[in-house]
Structure 1
Amino acid sequence: MDNFTCSLALSSAIVALVYVTSKFLTWIWIRPKKLEIFLRQQGFHGNSYKLFHGDSADIKGATREAMSKPINFSNDIFPRASPVYHKAVQKYGEKCFVWFGPRPAVVISDPELFREIMSKNYVFQKPHSLPVKRLIARGLVSLEADKWSKHRKLINPAFHVDKLKHLVPSFYLSCGEMLSKWDEIMGNEGCGEVDVWPHLHTMTSDVISRTAFGSSYEEGRKISHLQSEQAMCSVGADRSVNIPGYRFLPTKVNMKVKQNRKEIESLVLGIINKRMKATESGEDHHDLLGLLLQSNSKEMKQGNEFGMSINEVIEECKIFYFAGHETTATLLVWTMILLSNHDDWQGRARDEVLQAFGRGKPDYKQLNNLKIVTMILHEVLRLYPPAAMLSRCIQKEITVGEKVRLPAGVELMFPVIMLHQDPRIWGDDAKEFKPERFGDGVSKAGAREEQAAYFPFGWGPRICIGQNFAMLEAKMAIAMILQRYSFRLSPSYSHAPRVVITLQPEHGARLILTKLER
């Protein structure tokens, strides 16, 4: 190699090194400091940026402290469920930000700004989730722009109100199996202590197996278990700095997540293949998978670009499994916990159920006419929303509201619990369980109707597609439980709400169940 070639190679190496160093310094220091200056000029406050780590030490400390012990029974759960944002708001006020490594997250607690941002889904998109979280599922909830619109169009028919009424028998069957297990636990005594959380979790997973895939819980149990493991793996990732390339390292968590993903996809693909063969042989299925495949096939036959690949169908099925049962399970467990602490509302709900259909099988129309049960479910969703925090990101500098300017590169965090329990909107009793707020419907629930802040299923075009499914299933389950049991908190119950993707009771839900005379 001559001197010229050596010099050229050395110069190229130096240029490449300078470029990489420049990009690294911009990512790790220059850009975060520019964002910090911009945010402070807009009146936002937070800790000064710390090289690479940001607020990671404070985040870990706040989380460790909050999770160290249960709390007294109270609906003031924001400090424990979202300790990082609670401490930031306490220290710096509502216009604050938190550092996740070199990335600042701005807290948005104004419901009007929330509605504006959520309504512009093409402008304010979901943040790119961490690689570990993307392995849970990459379906509708993680897609953006035209890709999201395509999938939403294909999936919508499966969640149409007219289709949901056909799922009521599956709700009834799954809930009936759970109650039969409780009967066995009660035995001849007719009374006993049960941790209802795992039973509700199993029941809602069973519902998804039947309504989404037409299979029994036994066939879907493995998928449900693996998806729950994936969720637990993602919790630690949420609280750590996202190091580029870290997902490729053979760590215990990374290997577990990848192994689970392969197994889940293999199981789901098996179900899909069996269904497609059955459809080809003339069988007609009205479950969610069948409706999705029908919708997709129709688009493909018309030559449209909206058809989904088999891998995309798999991802949507994974979302069915995770979101479909986690959301309803958490709604049901907090409903039972709160009704255990409010005998008056439990009695009123039971009276309504028995008056509507006695000890018989509830039907679709009767379930939708349960006003008191519906009020209770909405109040539970207000106090204990399944998604305690929603987020969006900004691709370019933009002004929201009348004068709030936000720079590209920041993440927007919406503390749903904080919005749902804001006394300025809901009144001085905002943290109290008062279902009568929803006596005249959701739109008139707040103390100040013009600033209603009720977002348990999100808002705008991306509002949860399965909200009607979840509410109908919850009504069926609560109605059937009230028909057969009264329940109260066990002395061993520990009140410890925590976020594992959804808002869950960390130590379960130990209740005293008493079988009612038939």
Structure 2
Amino acid sequence: MCLTETELIKELLSKYSTISGKSWLQQQGSKHFIGRGLLMANGDDWYHQRHIVAPAFMGDKLKSYAGYMVNCTKEMVTSLEKEIEIGRTEFEIGEYMARLTADIISRTEFDSNYEKGKQIFHLLTVLQQLCAQSSRHLCFPGSRFLPSKYNREIKSLKMEVERLLMEIIQSRKDCVEIGRSSSYGNDLLGMLLNEMQKKGSSNLNLQLIMDECKTFFFAGHDTTALLLTWTMMLLASNPSWQQKVRAQVKEVCGGAPPSVEQLSKLTLLNMVINESLRLYPPASLLPRMAFEDIKLGDLHIPKGLSIWIPVLAIHHNEEIWGKDVNEFNPDRFGSKSFAPGRHFIPFAAGPRNCVGQAFALMEAKIILAMLISKFSFTISENYRHAPVVVLTMKPKYGVQIHLTPLD
């Protein structure tokens, strides 16, 4: 069933979050990619995992990541400036954003060196594309067990990702065992390992820890990289908004990287990011399955029914957003006429909303504020507009923009 009635969507996502979730078919589709991490868990498993990982994205813990985000962005800005000095003007900005967000998630959540993070990031990207292809394959019962070229390739990539993750995990365990460290660390991986060591904690094993790592490695860089890429494209195509945001960033931050406290004052940048998420939500569809019979409004939803919430269609609904629904107009977020959780759901809603939402928005604001204060950008004549869904919504041919340093 495709659900577009916004009141019913809110009811399903908030009231029935425990008796609806990810179907067996979805779990199978992403089994080799992100396994049974938080994104694919249901019921008590989901509740337990959410309870463990949520503190990594809250309060002072969240604020402590800002320094990593600023430093990683500074490194990217320096590399862009060097390339401009030797005569390069056009950049495929999506590649830079993907590298930057992978770097940030490596350092903030796994504290590993970027080289190992880079390998995991590359392998997961290939795995994502392969797993997305599976929905287009002719499927017959038992075909996933056949040693076909496709199945062998997926298995080999999965084993390599887990080998790299095991190296990171093992080095943490070694440090504790030889007494160099008293805990496994206070980042996400450390929290998971500390939880596993608790007496009587049988809910976490090494496979689940690796699945959680893969989930956050993917969710922590891919979706944010896409948000940044689409926002850069929109700002490059709308110079008047670019100027307005730049002026506010300069006024609030005075030419320095933004502090956590200053981010809430960047209201125009916040409106631009929301409009980007409305036009190009990274997750264009929220699939759920009813695990019990549900009464939703006047509807009877039988157990086992798949429910699709078409985020893209809701974000482009003329009745909700007006006649200019397909146009870039951040002013619409200046008024509170939309309803988060019903009309605007880029991070889903209710208890199962995106646990890393605050992390992603903080990261996006810091990166965009630093870039807009260093460069002026325009869209390249080589840019071909072709959004395509490969689990997430990507620009098929990349986003080419011209960068000009600001004096």
Normalising by the smaller structure, the TM-score range is over 0.9
Matched residue of 1:142: which SS?
A: coil
Matched residue of 1:393: which SS?
A: strand
Of stretches 283-292 and 152-161 in structure 1, the one that deviates more from structure 2 is: 283-292
How far 1:295 sits from its partner (Å)? Answer: 4.5
The higher-RCO structure (CA 8 Å, 6+ apart) is 2
> Equivalent residue for 1:438?
333
Q: Which amino acid aligns with 1:208?
A: I
- Answer yes or no: is 1:426 the counterpart of 2:325: no
Give 1:303-318 correspondences, 5 Å limit.
Answer: 303=200, 307-318=203-214
Give 1:290-329 correspondences, 5 Å limit.
Answer: 290-297=190-197, 300-301=198-199, 303=200, 307-329=203-225
> Equivalent residue for 1:186?
84
- Answer yes or no: is 1:467 the counterpart of 2:338: no
- Answer yes or no: is 1:147 the counterpart of 2:39: no
Runs (4+) off by over 4 Å? 449-452
> Equivalent residue for 1:170?
68
Aligned mate of 2:296, from 400, 420, 423: 400
> Equivalent residue for 1:243?
140
Partners of 2:363 and 2:312 lie apart in 1 by 23
Given the superposition, is the C-alpha separation of residues 145 and 263 from structure 1 closer, same or farther in structure 2, using an over 3 Å criterion?
same
Please give the TM-score of this superposition, normalised by the length of structure 2.
0.93
**Partner deviation per Cα, 1:448-479 (whole Å, 9 max, x = no partner):** x5994110001111001000110011011101
Partners of 2:250 and 2:340 lie apart in 1 by 36
Matched residue of 2:64: which SS?
A: helix
Of stretches 430-439 and 255-264 in structure 1, the one that deviates more from structure 2 is: 430-439
Partners of 1:136 and 1:414 lie apart in 2 by 23
> Equivalent residue for 1:206?
103
How far 1:175 sits from its partner (Å)? Answer: 1.3
Aligned mate of 1:136, from 33, 44, 47: 33
> Equivalent residue for 2:166?
269
> Equivalent residue for 2:346?
456
> Equivalent residue for 2:180?
281
How far 1:251 sits from its partner (Å)? Answer: 1.5
Q: Is the 8 A contact 2:195 2:204 kept in 1?
A: no
> Equivalent residue for 1:157?
55
**Partner deviation per Cα, 1:16-65 (whole Å, 9 max, x = no partner):** xxxxxxxxxxxxxxxxxxxxxxxxxxxxxxxxxxxxxxxxxxxxxxxxxx
**Partner deviation per Cα, 1:291-339 (whole Å, 9 max, x = no partner):** 3334554xx24x455x511221111111111111001000000000011
Matched residue of 1:392: which SS?
A: strand
Partners of 1:153 and 1:349 lie apart in 2 by 37
Given the superposition, is the C-alpha separation of residues 452 and 318 from structure 1 closer, same or farther in structure 2, using an over 3 Å criterion?
closer
Of stretches 282-291 and 240-249 in structure 1, the one that deviates more from structure 2 is: 282-291
Aligned mate of 1:414, from 289, 309, 315: 309
Partners of 1:450 and 1:504 lie apart in 2 by 23
Partners of 1:445 and 1:345 lie apart in 2 by 21
Report the RMSD for the aligned CA atoms in angstroms.
1.9
Partners of 2:167 and 2:287 lie apart in 1 by 34
Given the superposition, is the C-alpha separation of residues 283 and 178 from structure 1 closer, same or farther in structure 2, using an over 3 Å criterion?
farther
Q: Is the 8 A contact 2:57 2:356 kept in 1?
A: yes
How far 1:133 sits from its partner (Å)? Answer: 2.0
Q: Which amino acid aligns with 1:233?
A: L
Q: Is the 8 A contact 2:9 2:342 kept in 1?
A: no
Of stretches 116-125 and 312-321 in structure 1, the one that deviates more from structure 2 is: 116-125
Please give the TM-score of this superposition, normalised by the length of structure 1.
0.74
Matched residue of 1:134: which SS?
A: coil
Q: Is the 8 A contact 2:10 2:341 kept in 1?
A: no
Q: Is the 8 A contact 1:375 1:439 kept in 2?
A: yes
Partners of 2:100 and 2:75 lie apart in 1 by 8
Matched residue of 2:89: which SS?
A: strand
Q: Is the 8 A contact 1:130 1:242 kept in 2?
A: no
Given the superposition, is the C-alpha separation of residues 394 and 132 from structure 1 closer, same or farther in structure 2, using an over 3 Å criterion?
closer
Matched residue of 2:191: which SS?
A: helix
Give the number of equivalent residue pairs.
401
How far 1:500 sits from its partner (Å)? Answer: 1.3
**Partner deviation per Cα, 1:233-281 (whole Å, 9 max, x = no partner):** 1122123454221111111211111101111111101101112222452
> Equivalent residue for 2:280?
384
Q: Is the 8 A contact 2:257 2:366 kept in 1?
A: no
Partners of 1:244 and 1:363 lie apart in 2 by 54
